[in-house]
Amino acid sequence: MVLSKTHFRLLRQRQNLLSQEVLMYQRVMEGMRRNISMEALFKLTIRSVQKGLGFKRCGIFLMEPGGKAMILALGVDKRGRFERGKDRFPIVRRRGANAFSDIVNGYFRFFFTNDLSSRQRKGDRQRVPVRSTAVVPIQVGGGKIIGAMAVDQLSAKHLITRSDVASLFNFATQVGMAIQSLQAHEQIVRQSVTDPLTGLANRRYFEKVLAEELKRCEKAGRSCTLILADLDYFKRVNDVYGHDIGDEFLKHIGRLFHATVRGMDTVARIGGEEFALLLPDTPPDSGKFLVQRLLRQVRENPPRLPEKAEPYPLTVSLGMTSYCGGKTDPAKMLKLADQSLYQAKRQGRDRVGIPQVISGKKILSSVGT
């Protein structure tokens, strides 16, 4: 059988596309083996689509929790820069609302268009950009759609073909499996460093962060503050209201602490009713201000109790240590903060003990709190 020139050209194009599909898949799998982050996976995917299929722009959209919309997780703008969160497409039942919605609802398997009306006409010297766009689903097991991949070409040099869409469709399926695998891995990692009750960091993670922060402070000559917090008379809560209400108290305190500190700070539950807060770039004076604020927050925001239950005056005792220079280690910081906390307990609770300050080889007690 002798192939015509047209058939030979189409066969070569198909072989090139298959080669590009394999190469794109290999790039993603290599990234997975390197245990890259989700954002790095998205960037690798976008670059692979641009290089492999020649698209000017590519965007990865993920389904929001609840499935009400797809939002841009990462994409490339007209200038070739990465952007995120800029575009959001609602998922509605109405057919024709947008390509993302139509694909999720099963009206189309994919979407692509070439706006031929804007092509440069023969003899027309003025070049008008062509908008060639394609959207394919990102699917996982059972055909579940978790997102979509969108590409476009703002040039008349490259119209999107069905072969392009088929390649993109196949690649998006591989990317979907990679995303799902990475999400599962990230969930396992989060669970290993998260307290299951409060959702805060656990003791294992906190001790790791404390050691890293002290090294950074010693190297850069910066300060940090460590605060320990313990719920006062917490055993009474469990005795009077039961352990379920006691758990709600712990979650309530965790939320208050988390809402009071900065995003860069670490809040952890390190024991039954004991919490720890690590505040980078926080000198003693700033730490004193924060511990007083924490005390007020707990006093002024009592936890909810069952109806007809008598109010419970929940309070906390706090201990504080600040690092301001010299050699130290996590165990020493924790010991000094614990001594400050113990002093608060001895003096009547619902207060902060005398803060300890590590400065050079000296340990200073700051009474003015």
pLDDT in tens, the chain (369 residues): 444 555 444 445 455 545 555 555 666 666 556 667 888 888 888 888 888 777 888 999 999 988 999 999 999 887 888 998 888 999 999 998 999 999 999 999 999 888 755 544 444 545 445 568 899 999 988 889 999 999 987 655 667 888 888 888 888 888 888 888 888 877 887 788 899 999 999 999 999 999 999 999 999 999 999 999 999 999 988 888 889 989 999 999 999 999 999 999 999 999 999 999 999 999 999 999 999 999 999 999 988 877 766 777 889 999 999 999 888 899 999 999 999 999 999 999 999 999 999 987 666 665 444
Indicate whether 47 and 185 sit together in one domain. yes
Indicate whether 74 and 146 sit together in one domain. yes
* CA 193 – CA 253 distance, rounded (Å): 19
Question: Where a domain ends, among 145, 170, 192?
Answer: 192
- Give me the residues paired with residue 316 across strands: 231
* CA 251 – CA 136 distance, rounded (Å): 42
The answer to whether residues 47 and 80 touch, using CB atoms and an 8 Å cutoff, is: no
* CA 25 – CA 178 distance, rounded (Å): 10
The answer to whether residues 61 and 45 touch, using CB atoms and an 8 Å cutoff, is: no
CATH number reported for the structural domain that contains residue 342 in this entry: 3.30.70.270
Return the closest-CA partner of residue 39 out of 244, 198, 47, 210.
Answer: 47
CATH number reported for the structural domain that contains residue 99 in this entry: 3.30.450.40
Indicate whether 222 and 241 sit together in one domain. yes
Indicate whether 164 and 247 sit together in one domain. no
- Give me the residues paired with residue 321 across strands: 226, 356
Burial of 136 (0-12, 13-18, 19+ CB in 10 A): buried
The runs of H, that is alpha helices, within the chain are 5-33, 38-53, 99-104, 162-192, 203-220, 234-241, 243-260, 284-300, 330-346
Q: Using CA of residue 301, residue 304, residue 308, residue 313, what is the dihedral sign?
A: negative
Question: Where a domain ends, among 192, 226, 251?
Answer: 192
Backbone angles phi, psi at 89, to 5 degrees: -115, 120
Indicate whether 232 and 174 sit together in one domain. no
The answer to whether position 79 is within a domain reads yes
The answer to whether position 345 is within a domain reads yes
Q: What is the pLDDT of residue 170?
A: 84
The answer to whether position 6 is within a domain reads no
Indicate whether 286 and 246 sit together in one domain. yes
Question: Where a domain ends, among 192, 222, 245?
Answer: 192
Q: What is the pLDDT of residue 48?
A: 83
Indicate whether 24 and 131 sit together in one domain. yes
Indicate whether 79 and 137 sit together in one domain. yes
| CB atoms near residue 149 (< 10 Å) | 24
The answer to whether position 319 is within a domain reads yes
Indicate whether 226 and 347 sit together in one domain. yes
Indicate whether 176 and 92 sit together in one domain. yes
What global pTM score does this model have?
0.61
The answer to whether position 2 is within a domain reads no
Q: What is the pLDDT of residue 33?
A: 60
Q: What is the pLDDT of residue 211?
A: 95
Structurally, the chain folds into a number of domains equal to: 2
The answer to whether position 198 is within a domain reads no
Q: What is the pLDDT of residue 364?
A: 66
Q: What is the pLDDT of residue 2?
A: 47
Quote the domain boundaries for residue 283. 203-365
